[in-house]
Structure 1
Amino acid sequence: MTSLEDVSLQLNNKISSIKRLLQLKSMGNDPSLTTMLQKIGLELASIQNTLHTFQALIQQQQTEMKSLKDLKNSVQKNSEVAHHLLENIPAHLPRKAAQSGTEDPKDEKVQGDPVQPVPEEKSAKSKHVVREIEYLLMEEFNHVPGYMKGRMTYDQINAVIHELNATVKAKYKILNQSLKSMSNIARNQYNTFKEQETKETKGQYFFVEADIKEFTRLKVDKKLQGIFNILRHCHRLREVRGNHLVRYVLL
């Protein structure tokens, strides 16, 4: 229940509010106070505009802070990925060859000496570039079916690719030699390589199991055959069969 004191308090508050309103009304009718009230209104409007400006700046700073926070998270993630890559560089990646330091400073040409042109015959004899099997990417390795990979790891497969590239390089180094400069052993190898060629391998690079045994220490076993299956799956090799011989052609 509402007590008499509560009712009295409510009535007194209403009476005070009515008195305040009457005072303000009388002030509004007073010309001397009207100007002051107008100035106060203008000041209040200016303060309100300033508050709106501050609110807009605060919202802009909040948006910029969010963008900076997202950028910080992105940089941190990229830094973690780069650090992980730096600590896990695959051993099979080619390294930059070190520059030879055997040059004699006395052999340097004196400034102003005419540059001797390279004979056309020597410049025309460019080195033969032998194709290589591209190393597997981690994404490709992850998409190889589990039954095909078994217990083989990413590094093991790329290590085999490194040896296969050495096989192809050694084989085609012999094929690209001049017959006149060959030894009897190299000439026999050359003839064997030529006999293995077919119409399907013309202009292609390929190797056979005998080449692996000849030029590497890899064991030609079931594990190696499993890696060949993975390389075919990843479009690194294809097989050409004929005359009881399997030729592994580079793609």
Structure 2
Amino acid sequence: MEGNQAGSSLDSLIASFNKRIGELQELVIARNMYPASTIPDLSAIDTALSSMELQVQSIKDRLREETEAIPKAKKLIEASLKQQGKLQKMSIYAPSHFPDKATMLNSDLNRCLLQENAKQYEQHSTLSSLKFDEEAAVLPKEKKGRGSPPLWYITVEELNSLSSYMRGRLTLEKVNAAINDMASYAEANAHLIAASKQKLAENLWEKALKLRDIVTEQAVKGKHFFLETDMKGPSLKLDNTGKAILTVLRHLGRLSETRIGQNRVIILMKPH
């Protein structure tokens, strides 16, 4: 497009030159008739022609630079399109956000850990020893080295394989964000199970005892799990959408469920 415009400009300049040449010829004839009066006019024409020559040369230089830059611009556009395609493919499988697991732990737990640790330094060493003995009697022998909770995201193909009735309005981003939440719940519960009593507040200690009773059951032993009551967001909540997400993930083999006492326990599955 720029080349066509430059060519059109050159045609206009050529036409202008031809017109000026014709005028110059007329002035030459007139000079022979009136030599003294035509000198200023010829000087003005010479100046105008010199200016036009400079403009034409500038246009040629600019046109040459733009022509040389076209192949580089084409290569840059091709590379950008390839990179855009790669990023679009990657974004399909990535959840909308990756929350930090540490920040997802119960804020009350973190605050109480600091408060209780400060109090323990002020207590007598013998009292601390007694509490440690009491804790040792309560803590179940849990298998060490369980590792981090699994983050087994679903793919577009898996989501599309579901029936429209089961899939509903769920999107890949919503489901994978919920998987992040479930891993955070399971990790918070693992912290409660492993923490000693002197590091927990009374309200968290009650939940820790309940989790320690659950973890001794054969169905959840050595596995990462969370309770239905843990579903408090930010992405997974105990509402209709949250229940639909659990149904989809159970169907896709990402989790299993069991009931222990009055607690509905959701167990995270690992990739095969």
Please identify the structure whose Cα radius of gyration is greater: 1
Question: Which structure exhibits the higher relative contact order, with contacts defined as CA atoms closer than 8 Å and separated by 6 or more residues?
Answer: 2
> Whose helix fraction is larger, Structure 1's or Structure 2's?
2
The TM-score with structure 1 as length reference comes to 0.49
